[in-house]
Structure 1
Amino acid sequence: MSATPATSDLYYDPYDVDINADPYPVFHRIREDAPLYYNEQHDFYALSRFEDVRKGLADRETFSSSRGAILELIKANIEIPSGVLIFEDPPVHTIHRNLLSRMFTPKKIRNLEPKIREFCVRSLDPLVGTGKFDFVGDLGKQMPMRVIGMLLGIPEADQEAVRDQVDAELRTEAGKPMTRWSEHGDFVSGEIFAEYIDWRAEHPSDDIMTELLNVEFEDETGSRRRLTREELLTYVTVVAGAGNETTTRLIGWTGKVLAEHPDQRRDLVADPSLVPRAVEELLRFEPPAPHVARYVTRDVEYYGQTVPEGSVMMFLVGAANRDDRQFAGGDRFDIHREARQHLTFGIGTHFCLGASLARLEGRIALEEVLKRFPEWDVDYDRAQLSPTSTVRGWDSLPVVIPA
């Protein structure tokens, strides 16, 4: 696929640290000048306009999840274990999703609010009067970890170790792809959860782990059974990773974006009823996962070019979420804008099961921060952007509170 003169200098690389620091100028150019983009170095195609991304993510016949949703994972062409539902297609995906969906019902999510607020209070109250805190280290890495630990039944004393090991699976060396799958030929084993599963089997409780241990279902062969131990380990690993990552990134971006828009932050202090809308705008404006990949199962045409079967298509969610065709002034952050569908949580079959929980955690976190710290400035000299290519956000975001 040859470049035109207008796009000959256009380059997008998900592993490039400089681009990743602020991908939106490149996203804008791709969206307008190369709506079907091809990266020769890493051999992937990319779509960036809202409608293309929306329709592509919903087209599971053409764009398969069964080989993974990460560029280097698809390229590694390894066998993905049963139970990684984000990397599955129907009918297996439908079976596994239905097992988990009963654990994330609206009622169950609503009932978590008092506990989530308690976790936020516990994190934030000791920081009042200190003149500073870290949106990620003091809140983003603490509250979501405690919530998912509570749901899974992991003792608080072990939650940080579990969180750090699961997070490490997503980390990459700056500027480089993930290599653990291609080098080791395996996937996340989930063995860190083995002792909790064994203990919970003998001591049932009201948590996801107990439910998963006891649930019976009909698998894709028509057999009635329970989850195998390996499937259970995989399930719990997926829930633990997804349950921490999105909300941690959301909280970090909340600190950064609202520091850069102090007038809108003051609007939220004056009218807390705007907080849910602000959370939605933050999710649109800075999606924690700016892209998602799919394996192309058949030739497909875009903009007069054929994407051949066997290719990797990258859907640039971060670009689609700022497409002026869907959002007027898409590169402008505005908590007052009319609510419209964004793609941060995906769409269709793979719409994020934990979306309601992430929104709830984001809302409560912002409410509790604003009660204590209506003003803050980011200490960029000490802030650290994560190097990973799979999600985009802050490893630390320290802020200074004006006296």
Structure 2
Amino acid sequence: MPVTVSADRDLHYDPYDVDLNIDPFPVFARIREEAPLYYNPDLDFYALSRYDDVNKAVIDHETFISGRGALLEIIKSGMEIPPGTLIFEDPPIHNIHRNLLSRVFTPRKVAALEPQIREFTTRCLDPLVGTGRFDFVNDLGEQMPMRVIGMLLGIPEDRQRAITDHGEATLQKKEVDLLATGEVFAEFIDYRRDHPSDDIMTDLLNAEFTDETGTVRRLHREELLLYLTVIATAGSETTTRLIGWAGKTLAEYPDQRRELAENPALIPQAIEEILRWEPPALQLARYVTRDVEYYGQTVPEGSAMLLLLGAANRDHRRFAPDGEVFDIHRELKSHMTFGGGTHFCMGNALARMEGRIALEEILKRFPEWDVDWPNAIKSETAAVRGWAAMPTIVS
């Protein structure tokens, strides 16, 4: 194996270590300073951790491709990626599929959901007032994104639970069958074909586009099922974790939490800082298409590269004077939580809105809370980190 800047064996990052991923930041800080090109000989991957390196690599979709998978285990498996899996595609075909989705996933459709999301949040929270307890994940974070995806796709409320359970089970698998077929959506597609509505599923069923062969057509059934799987899985689990991290972080910074309760206009900025501080996904994986040099070392063609978003987000070179400080008044600079370049998260505005509404409504009812640590439960997923339960004692 090549000798790299990270030959020191006591500096070790295992992306599958769920306990480490809850607080990887001391390791990330060492990697950023001591091994800006890190190599893990046990799992055979390289990693970049400094903001500028990660940002440039995310944008360079010719050197660092997604077409072999955006998760380390998929890249290492060598599996063939089915066409139409948006997050595992490269330009030009990725641009065709992304543009199709962006035509239906519009700011208007997202903004129109705000009253429904707020009404649902109110329904979740009001019965808990006066009980002295509130779980950021089980009482709201788990249900809200599922409902929102259901609103977007036009899935009936009584069936949304099954969709979320399917997405979570998909993310929790470490084997290479991570790519679900999307058959869980089949009955809804058939229903919407006969009963069109003002939702994304109907729009996707009817949208015409020019494919990579120059043919004007609509999505095939298999393509549509994959699209819906990506939307539902990517859009629910990550936002659930964001809300859990908001509960933990603001419990640890009560002075900043009180500021938010007194001045809700600060909440959008606080959501940005929570996203930077505790990103639900710590890294993106890419396949390296050519030899590339970092810090005097060569990363060979065919390598797996992890882009450590969580490390980049705390890089003092970007977030001066100290990226390791949580500060809702921090000067706003773009972070890496939503990725970048051609794969920049299409659901970023929706996730930000869900986080904002959640915090606004929680702080109205529960301005003070402490985490009930004996009953907090870590999520067992490696792809998306966070809490399966974040119970708090409220006053």
Length-normalised TM-score, structure 2 = 0.97
In the TM superposition, residue 245 of structure 1 has moved relative to its aligned partner by 1.6
Given candidates 298, 316, 334, the residue that maps to 2:308 is 316
Give, as a single letter, the amino acid of the residue that structure 2 aligns with 1:179.
E
Contact kept, 8 Å, 2:74 with 2:176, in 1: the verdict is no
Listed one character per residue, the Cα deviations across residues 345-379 of structure 1 (whole Å, up to 9, x for unaligned) are 01111110000000011101100000000001111
Listed one character per residue, the Cα deviations across residues 222-251 of structure 1 (whole Å, up to 9, x for unaligned) are 011110000010001111111102211110
Specify the alignment match of 1:179 in structure 2.
Answer: 175
Q: Distance in 1 between matches of 2:168 and 2:384?
A: 11
Q: Distance in 2 between matches of 1:4 and 1:228?
A: 47
Q: Distance in 2 between matches of 1:192 and 1:111?
A: 26
Listed one character per residue, the Cα deviations across residues 295-322 of structure 1 (whole Å, up to 9, x for unaligned) are 0000000000000000000000000000
Specify the alignment match of 1:360 in structure 2.
Answer: 353
Specify the alignment match of 2:264 in structure 1.
Answer: 272
Give, as a single letter, the amino acid of the residue that structure 1 aligns with 2:205.
L
After TM superposition, the structure 1 stretch with the greater mean CA deviation from structure 2, 3-12 or 302-311, is 3-12
Secondary structure of the residue aligned to 1:340 is coil
Any unmatched runs of 5+ in structure 2? Answer: none
In the TM superposition, residue 210 of structure 1 has moved relative to its aligned partner by 0.5
Specify the alignment match of 1:194 in structure 2.
Answer: 186
Q: Distance in 2 between matches of 1:358 and 1:332?
A: 23
Given candidates 328, 332, 337, the residue that maps to 1:344 is 337
Count of residue pairs brought into register by the alignment? 393
Q: Distance in 2 between matches of 1:292 and 1:180?
A: 16
Residue 235 (structure 1) aligned with residue 231 (structure 2): no
Specify the alignment match of 1:332 in structure 2.
Answer: 325
Considering only aligned residues, what root-mean-square deviation do their CA atoms show, in Å?
Answer: 1.3
Q: Distance in 2 between matches of 1:48 and 1:363?
A: 28
Contact kept, 8 Å, 2:136 with 2:247, in 1: the verdict is yes
Give, as a single letter, the amino acid of the residue that structure 1 aligns with 2:24.
P
Secondary structure of the residue aligned to 1:369 is helix
Percentage of pairs with the same residue: 67
After TM superposition, the structure 1 stretch with the greater mean CA deviation from structure 2, 42-51 or 109-118, is 109-118
Q: Distance in 1 between matches of 2:9 and 2:350?
A: 43
After TM superposition, the structure 1 stretch with the greater mean CA deviation from structure 2, 252-261 or 2-11, is 2-11
After TM superposition, the structure 1 stretch with the greater mean CA deviation from structure 2, 17-26 or 45-54, is 17-26
Specify the alignment match of 2:168 in structure 1.
Answer: 167
Specify the alignment match of 2:247 in structure 1.
Answer: 255
Listed one character per residue, the Cα deviations across residues 17-68 of structure 1 (whole Å, up to 9, x for unaligned) are 3322310000000000000000011100000000000000000110001111
In the TM superposition, residue 122 of structure 1 has moved relative to its aligned partner by 1.0
Specify the alignment match of 1:298 in structure 2.
Answer: 290
Contact kept, 8 Å, 2:18 with 2:385, in 1: the verdict is no
Listed one character per residue, the Cα deviations across residues 245-281 of structure 1 (whole Å, up to 9, x for unaligned) are 2211110000000000000000001111100000000
Any unmatched runs of 5+ in structure 1? Answer: 173-177
Q: Does the C-alpha gap of structure 1 residues 245 and 17 become closer, same or farther in structure 2, counting only changes over 3 Å? A: closer
Specify the alignment match of 1:77 in structure 2.
Answer: 78
Q: Distance in 2 between matches of 1:259 and 1:253?
A: 10
